[in-house]
Amino acid sequence: MRIFTKKLPHPDRPAEEKAQLLQNSEYQERMVESTFLYLTLDLPTAPLYKDEKEQLIIPQVPLFSILAKFNGSTEKEYKTYKENFLKRFQLTRLPPYLIFCIKRFTKNNFFVEKNPTIVNFPITNVDLREYLSEEVQAAHAHTTYDLIANIVHDGKPSEGSYRIHVLHHGTGKWYELQDLQVTDILPQMITLSEAYIQIWKRREEDETNQQGA
C-alpha cells in the first residue's frame, strides 16, 4: 500500500504561526510504499446513550464505511506524545488472501476498553477494486473476495472468550468452533457477531460460489 503522511502544527500554536509552518518542507506530505500482513479497520466511537429500557444501544456500521480508510482520500489524524500527523492509505496490490483486524480494543494507562459496534458485512462478493489506485486497477483481473473465516470476541475485554466461524469449502457449509465444540451455523448468523479478525479469499474467475448465501 501507499502511505501518505503529513505532519501537523501543534494545535495550541497561533493561527499565523501554523500557516507559516505549513509552508516548511517538514510539514509537506510524504509518501512511502509498504507491504502489509493485515489491514486494521477502525471502528467509530460507540455512543454512550441508552434506550427506553435503560440498555446500552449497540451501534452498527457497514463494512464498506470502515474500509474507506484505504481509498486513498480518507484522512485520519494520528497522535504521538509530541507530534500529530494526518495520514491516508491507498492499496496498490491485492493478495490471494486478505486479513482484516477490526480494532475493538483500546488501551490506556489504566484499563482496556472494548468497542461493541457490530460490523454489517456480506459474506460473499466483496469487491475491493475501488480501493486500488487508478493506475493499477487494470493489472488486477480479480478483485472480489469471499469470507472463509471469522473470529469473534464475546464478553468483556479481560474476561471474554473467542469463537471462530469456518467455511467448509467442499460442502459450502459454515461451522462454529469453540474449544472442542463444533456446530453448524447459518451464514446469516455470522454477520450478527462481534467480528474481530476475518480472513477473505480472492475469487478467481472460474470459481463457483459454494457458500449458499
Task: Give the model confidence (pLDDT) of 130-173 as tens digits.
Answer: 888 878 888 888 899 999 999 999 888 878 889 999 999 899 99
- Domain assignment present for residue 48? The answer is yes
Note whether residue 129 is domain-resident. yes
Q: List strand residue ranges (DSSP E) for the chain, in order.
A: 2-8, 30-33, 39-42, 60-62, 76-79, 84-90, 97-103, 105-107, 112-114, 118-120, 126-127, 144-154, 161-168, 173-178, 181-185, 195-202
Grid cell in block for residue 136 = 493499477
Higher pLDDT, 193 or 81: 193
> What's the CATH code of the domain at 32?
3.90.70.10
The pLDDT of residue 49 is: 63
* Rounded-to-integer distance, Cα 191 and Cα 16, Å: 49
∠ CA 187-94-91 to the nearest 5 degrees? 110
Question: 139-148 as b/e, with b when 16 or more CB fall inside 10 Å?
Answer: eeeebbbbbb
Whether 209 maps to a domain, the answer reads no
DSSP β-bridge partners for residue 161:
154
Parent domain of 118 = 2-202
- The residues, ordered by sequence, that sit 6+ positions from 192 with a Cβ below 8 Å of its Cβ are 118
213 pLDDT above the threshold of 50:
no
Q: Is 213 inside any structural domain?
A: no
What region, left, alpha or beta, does residue 205 occupy, with left being phi > 0 and alpha being psi -120 to 50 degrees? alpha
Answer whether residue 114 is part of any domain: yes
Give the CB-side neighbour count of residue 142, counting CA atoms within 13 A: 13
- pLDDT of 192 over the 50 cut: yes
Q: Decide if 207 is inside a domain.
A: no
Q: How many domains is the chain partitioned into structurally? A: 1
First-last CA distance in the chain: 31
111 in a structural domain: yes
| Single pTM value for the model | 0.84
**Residue 55 per-residue DSSP state:** -
